[in-house]
Amino acid sequence: MRRAVLLLLAVAFLLVGLTVLGSFGWGPIVITREGEQKILLMFGKALSVTKPGVFARVPLLMDIETYPSLKLYLNVDPESIQTKDQERVVIDNYVVWQIIEPVAFRGSFPQGIDLARQQINRVVKAAVREIVGKHTLLDVLTDERENIRLAITERTANSLAENGIAVDDVRINRTELPPTTEKNVFERMKTDRQRLARKYRAEGEEKARTIRADADREARVTVALARKQAEIARGEGDAEATRIYAEAYQRDPEFYAFMRSMEAYRKTIGVGTTLVLSPDSAFFRFLVREVPGSKAGAGGSPAP
């Protein structure tokens, strides 16, 4: 009984020891954790790639190399790049990448992951220089920036696919202008804004002239219509007045003549007005009166 217990304890300690050794890649048991992928090698030749779990191997004959399976981050060194319009711009990028084929990755970078980072850095810089060099500075700084980023990501991913690397994204951290370029850009922006201001001002003045011309034309039309209506109303008033005068004349010609003469006197004779008229003038006949007993018919003149 005691031997059985000791035997069980020995087996348990052996299993624990093998598990501990397997977690470090030693012994006959291989443990692959989450976020890892391991290559089983025999005499330097890759046999298989393990996924998270427990696997067996032949000690001393099989070797193990471990690579991360999670997405990795690499900050690319900033570089000054010339754009299509001969401007210089400093671009700083970072890359999100992943090892998806460990065997191809090991064949491309036998010295390890540091060599892969150097290669990714070179490929990204080459793609950035090529893509940015086909666009103007304004494209890099405005809405075209997203299309540039997508093009750089695609070019980098295609270049590194044969190395067992998948490039998920190449992002532009920042875009800086050298002092000389910054000054030139500001001057060009100022010139563009002045050009736009002149354009908008000219368009505004043209619209103002159009509005004023339309208003003047409408005013002239309105005034002409008002004058026409006024002439019609005045003509109708004159016609009505003439009709009334005619009716009044027909009813009492003497009274009509008297009223018309009074109106003529009022309009003609003002304060301090002196008239020199013939005594027998028709205009004067309502301003004189006959003296009783006079003989106007015998050649005498009426006395005032």
Q: What is the pLDDT of residues 255-300, one digit of tens each?
A: 777 777 777 777 777 777 777 767 666 666 666 655 455 444 444 4
Mean pLDDT of the 98-123 span: 90
Confidence of residue 4 (pLDDT cuts 50, 70, 90): low
pLDDT of 211 higher than 60: yes
**pTM as predicted:** 0.52
The pLDDT, as a whole number, for residue 27 is: 57
- What one-character DSSP code corresponds to residue 70? S
In the chain, what is the straight-line distance between the N-terminal and C-terminal CA atoms, in Å?
177
Q: Give the up-direction half-sphere exposure of residue 94: CA atoms within 13 A in the CB hemisphere.
A: 8
Name which of 84-98, 111-125, 247-261 the model is least confident about. Answer: 247-261
Radius of gyration (Cα) for the chain, nearest Å?
A: 57
Largest CA distance in the chain: 190
More confident residue, 254 or 221: 221
Residue closest to 85 by CA, chosen among 141, 123, 126: 141
Residue 291 pLDDT = 46
> Which residues 6+ apart lie within 8 Å of 61 measured at CB?
42, 43
Tokens standing for 165? 């690397």
Please name the helix (run of DSSP H) or strand (run of DSSP E) that holds residue 68, with its range, or none.
strand 62-68
Residue with tokens 């990755």: 105
Contacts of 52 (CB under 8 A, 6+ apart): 32, 33, 34, 36
| Mean pLDDT estimate for the chain | 79
| H helices present in 133-178, as ranges | 137-141, 145-160
pLDDT number for residue 294? 46
- In this prediction, residue 286 carries a pLDDT of 66
**Six-digit token pair at 113?**
């992951």
| pLDDT at residue number 135 | 86
For residues 10-21, average pLDDT: 52
Q: Is 257 exposed, middle or buried (0-12, 13-18, 19+ CB in 10 A)?
A: middle
Burial 51-70 (b: 16+ CB within 10 A, else e): eeeebebeeeeebbbebebe
User: Which tokens is 161 given?
Assistant: 């696919």
Which is it for strands 53-56 and 29-32: parallel, antiparallel or unpaired?
antiparallel
pLDDT the model gives residue 266? 77
Of 186 and 217, which is predicted with more confidence?
217
Q: What is the pLDDT of residue 251?
A: 77
Is pLDDT at 208 greater than 90 in this prediction? yes
Residue 119 predicted with pLDDT over 80:
yes
Q: Are 34 and 43 in contact (CB under 8 A)?
A: no
Q: What is the pLDDT of residue 300?
A: 44
pLDDT in the model for residue 287? 63
User: Residue length, the chain?
Assistant: 304
The full set of domains in the chain, from first to last, is 2-67 (no CATH), 72-177 (3.30.479.30), 253-298 (no CATH)
The whole-number average pLDDT for the span 134-145 is 82
* SS3 (DSSP) at 161: helix
Phi, psi at 148, each rounded to 5°: -65, -45
Reply yes or no on whether the pLDDT at 182 is more than 80. no
Percent of the chain with pLDDT over 90: 25
pLDDT reported for residue 302: 45
Least confident window among 183-187, 189-193, 200-204: 183-187
